[in-house]
Amino acid sequence: MDVHRYSGRDPLEQVDIQKSLVEALDTAADQVGLDRDAWCRQEGGDSELAVLPADVDEAVVVADFTRELAISLRRQNRSRRHECRLRVRMAMHCGVLLEGANGYAARAPVEACRLRDSAELRKALASRANADLALIVSDVLFRDIVEPGYRGLQPDRFQQVSVCEKEYRGVGYILLPEQAAPVAGTDRPDQGTPVLGGIVAKADHGIANASTVIGGQHMLTRSESGQPRGVRRD
C-alpha cells in the first residue's frame, strides 16, 4: 500500500497517516472475521504487502473486506480536510509464492504489485475525487470469485483493463466502492454502505494508493456457508 502524497507530508502527519491506515485495515478485517494476526505482512510505512492463510475464504476478502475497508476509510476521513484524506489503491491476487531472504518471490507477489501500481488503477482513483479506495483484482480472482457473483459481487460493476507495468503484461478488473451496496443474502442495499463497483473513467491527474492481498496456492472447495474456500495443495 502506498498512501497518496505521503512523502509530501511532514513527519507528524506521516505518523498519523500510518496509524490511521493500520486502524482502518484492522477494523475492516475485524468486521468480517478475518484475523490480521494470522497475515504475513511486509510493512513499509505507507505500504503493506499481506499474504493471507490459504484457508481464508476469498469471496469474503474480495467482497466483505473491501466493503468494510471503504467504510473504515470514510470514517477516518470525516475529520480530515479534503486534501489530507487517506486514500488507497488495493490489489488482490491469488497464486503460488516463495519466501526469500528479503521478501516474497515468484510471479504472484510481482503480479499483485504491478496491478496495484498500474497507471489504470491510478487513473481510476484520480477520476473520482470523492473516492477513498480503488480495488483491482487479477483475472483469476475475477473468473473464480467475482464472475459467479459470490457474496453479492456484481461483475458488471468491474471495469476490465489491460495492464502493462514494467515487464508485466496482463488483465485486471477495477472497481471503486461507493454509494449503497447490497448486503450478502439480501436484495436491498443498506443505507450508506459503499457499492462494490461503478463505472471507471479515465483521467490524467492525481494518484492514491493501496494494500495488496495475496492468498497461498489453492484450489476452491465449499465451506459450510456454501462460499468458496481456499485450501492448500500438497
Contacts of 73 (CB under 8 A, 6+ apart): 24, 86, 87, 88, 132, 133
Please say if the pLDDT value at position 196 is more than 80.
no
Q: Is there a domain that residue 60 lies in?
A: yes
Residue found by looking up cell 495488496 in the block? 212
Of the listed ranges 63-67, 145-149, 229-233, the one predicted with least confidence: 229-233
Contacts of 233 (CB under 8 A, 6+ apart): 217, 218, 219
Mean pLDDT of the chain: 79
Bigger pLDDT: 49 vs 234: 49
Q: Is there a domain that residue 146 lies in?
A: yes
Determine the average pLDDT of the residues in 133-161: 97
Of the listed ranges 53-67, 110-124, 213-227, the one predicted with least confidence: 213-227
> What integer pLDDT is reported at residue 211 of this predicted model?
39
Residue found by looking up cell 442495499 in the block? 189
Please say if the pLDDT value at position 118 is more than 80.
yes
> What integer pLDDT is reported at residue 60 of this predicted model?
97
> What integer pLDDT is reported at residue 77 of this predicted model?
92
Q: Is there a domain that residue 227 lies in?
A: no
Bigger pLDDT: 84 vs 213: 84
Bigger pLDDT: 218 vs 18: 18
Residue-number span of the structural domain to which 98 is assigned? 11-217
Quote the cell numbers at residue 103. 521478501
Q: What type of residue sits at position 79?
A: S
Q: Give the count of alpha carbons within 13 A of 224, CB side only.
A: 0
> What integer pLDDT is reported at residue 45 of this predicted model?
80
Of the listed ranges 63-72, 191-200, 202-211, the one predicted with least confidence: 202-211
Query: What secondary structure does DSSP assign to 97-135, as a single string?
Result: -EEETTEEESHHHHHHHHHHT-HHHHHHHHT-TT--EEE
For residues 141 and 227, give the distance between their C-alpha atoms in angstroms, rounded to a whole number: 14
Please say if the pLDDT value at position 201 is more than 70.
no
Q: Is there a domain that residue 228 lies in?
A: no
Determine the average pLDDT of the residues in 143-170: 94
> What integer pLDDT is reported at residue 226 of this predicted model?
46
Q: Is there a domain that residue 2 lies in?
A: no
> What integer pLDDT is reported at residue 163 of this predicted model?
93
CB atoms within 10 A of CB 47: 20
Phi, psi of 141, deg, nearest 5 = -70, -35
Q: Structural domain tally of the chain?
A: 1
Please say if the pLDDT value at position 191 is more than 80.
no
Please say if the pLDDT value at position 40 is more than 80.
yes
> What integer pLDDT is reported at residue 33 of this predicted model?
97
For residues 52 and 65, give the distance between their C-alpha atoms in angstroms, rounded to a whole number: 13
- Which SS3 state, helix, strand or coil, does residue 90 take? strand
Q: Is there a domain that residue 173 lies in?
A: yes
Please say if the pLDDT value at position 128 is more than 60.
yes
Binned at pLDDT 50, 70 and 90, residue 203 comes out as: very low
Q: pTM higher than 0.75 for the full model?
A: yes
Q: Is there a domain that residue 74 lies in?
A: yes
Q: Is there a domain that residue 232 lies in?
A: no
